[in-house]
Amino acid sequence: MSGASVLSSGQAAGILFGMFFGLMFLRVPVAFALGLACLPILVIEPRLSAMTLVQETFNAYNSFILLAVPFFLLTANLMNVGGITDRLVRLSRSMVGHFPGGLAQINVVLSIFFAGISGSSTADAASQSKIFIEAQRKEGYDDSFSVAITAVSAVLAVIIPPSILMIVWGGVLTVSIGALFLAGIIPGLLIGVVQMATVHAYAKARGYPTYPRSSWRELVCALWVAWPALMTPAIIIGGKIFGWFTATESACIAVLYAGVLSLLVYREMDLKGLYAALLDTGRLAGVALFCVGTASAFGWLLAYYQIPKAILAGVSAWDMGFTMTGFFIAFVFLVVGCFLDAIPAIIIVGTILQPLAKAVAMDPVHFAMIGIVSLA
């Protein structure tokens, strides 16, 4: 196919990536930059038409599994307007509020709880920034520290299952989502513990305040109020792992469960709150899914010109072993993640690096976790 093409693999790669990074330098949004970078190829290459890319974009959206994305985002928003988040904050405070840097410790623990329900770091960061940044400022925390701990703890939402990135990865690269969910639990919890240790060190050095230690009675009361919310990840992850429902169905069940808690159990969500949750979900899902379409078109052009194959041939010449290949994959995802959103990075870079991982017999789940943690 590429032999009859006007452009070689190197020329096509130069145009695609050159246009993309040029548009990024001009501050064009990532989703638009990916789509616009494809246009010069359509002009130069007579064998391609605009309808070809439109069809590939449509094929990307014609995926049942992508329906999980807006539903998990809606779950997170229902948690915020329905009082679920407030009860998790109370539980987190009872558990770790007496640690050095109590409010920042609560921030991290809440992110761990939130991650097991929402699957979206964007929703996590948006929710917790409203709760913690101003509160930490009033208690004497540095603004840079408050923003940093809120941002880095939010990434746990895409590592601890359920995770939107795991769902996209599983759908695009054909990996078991249940296996990805299981694989993300230990890395996510370990990263959370390291973040808490970092907060402890900073709090000791800077003299950040702590809360009085909660009594056992207060802890039990907070746990009793919050346990219905804590059942959400057990339902989602357990149902997926045991084969009771698919990832998309688990997202729908999470929405129903969060809605029941907000309306019937905690009784804090009204029509205005529901409208705000739906509006915010539509905005976030629109951005994420638009990236899926343009990134798929970009990735299809890479495959058309056999660019992943050319890259694999070049990298294979370095004769890296299993371990060095793992470090190389992590480094590439880490660098790409500085410029590209996680979802298009998975679609484009994950597809390019997948043959390299297969060449060293790396397990697909292992490869996925390296990529997701690096992008997070």
**Tens digits of residue pLDDT in 47-69:** 887 887 788 788 777 777 778 88
- Tell whether the torsion through CA atoms of 305, 306, 311 and 317 is positive or negative: negative
Side chain identity at residue 21, one-letter code: F
Distance (Å, rounded) from C-alpha 241 to C-alpha 237? 6
Predicted pLDDT of residue 4: 60
Q: Residues 210-251: pLDDT tens digits?
A: 888 888 888 888 888 888 878 877 777 777 777 788 878 888
Given the structure tokens 């992590």, which residue do they identify?
330
For residue 71, report the phi and psi dihedrals to the nearest 5 degrees: -70, -40
Coil vs helix vs strand at 211: coil
CB atoms within 10 A of CB 78: 29
Whole-angstrom distance, CA of residue 120 vs CA of residue 125: 9
The reply to whether 164 and 129 lie within a common domain is: yes
**What is the average per-residue pLDDT within 302-308?**
81
The verdict on 255 and 172 lying in the same domain is yes
Closest CA to 110 of 165, 166, 157: 157
- For the four alpha carbons of 173, 179, 181 and 187, in that order, the dihedral sign comes to negative
Q: Read off the pLDDT band of 190 (50, 70, 90).
A: very high
What is the tally of structural domains in the chain?
2
Domain encompassing residue 342: 2-63+287-375
Residues 251 and 344 both lie in one domain: no
My answer on whether 177 and 198 are in the same domain is yes
Answer yes or no: do 328 and 363 share one domain. yes
Buried b (16+ CB within 10 A) or exposed e, 204-219: eeeebebbeebeeeee
Amino acid at 328: F
Token digits of residue 57: 């974009």
Residue 272: partners with Cβ closer than 8 Å, 6 or more residues away? none
Given 224, 258, 279, which residue is the final one in a domain?
279
Given 279, 297, 313, which residue is the final one in a domain?
279
Last residue within a domain, chosen from 226, 254, 279: 279
Amino acid at the residue 73: L
Query: If you average pLDDT over every residue of the chain, what do you get?
Result: 83
C-alpha–C-alpha distance, residues 149 and 52, integer Å? 44
Q: For residue 174, is pLDDT > 80?
A: yes
The answer to whether residues 124 and 232 belong to one domain is: yes
**Within this chain, do residues 253 and 367 fall inside the same structural domain, yes or no?**
no
Q: In which residue are the tokens 């699957």 written?
A: 119
Instruction: Give the 3-state secondary structure of residue 208.
Output: coil
Helices 30-37 and 9-25 cross at an angle (nearest 10°) of: 150
Whether 272 and 316 map to the same domain: the answer is: no
Q: Which residue has the tokens 């069809």?
A: 55
The neighbour count for residue 46, using CB atoms within 10 Å, is: 9
3-state secondary structure (DSSP) of residue 21: helix
121-137 per-position pLDDT tens digit = 776 776 677 777 777 78
Question: What is the model's pTM?
Answer: 0.78
Domain co-membership, 115 together with 8: no
**Using one digit for the tens of pLDDT, what is the confidence trace for 333-363?**
888 887 777 888 888 888 888 888 888 888 9
C-alpha distance across the termini of the chain, in Å = 36
Highest mean pLDDT among 47-51, 127-131, 266-270, 323-327: 323-327
Cα dist. 331→16, 184, 251, 345 in Å? Answer: 21, 19, 32, 13
Residue 324 scores a pLDDT above 70: yes
- The single-letter DSSP state of residue 245 is S
- Report the helix count and the strand count for the chain, using DSSP H and E: 20, 0
Asked if residue 97 and residue 53 are part of one domain, the reply reads no
* Shared-domain flag, residues 162 and 176: yes
CA-based torsion, 245, 247, 248, 250: positive or negative: positive
Is the domain of 336 the same as that of 257? no
Please tell me the distance from the alpha carbon of residue 69 to that of residue 166, in angstroms, as a whole number: 11
Based on the number of CB atoms within 10 Å of its own CB, is 276 exposed (0-12), middle (13-18) or buried (19 or more)?
middle
Confidence (pLDDT) at 245: 81
**CB-CB contact of 259 with 78 (8 Å):** yes
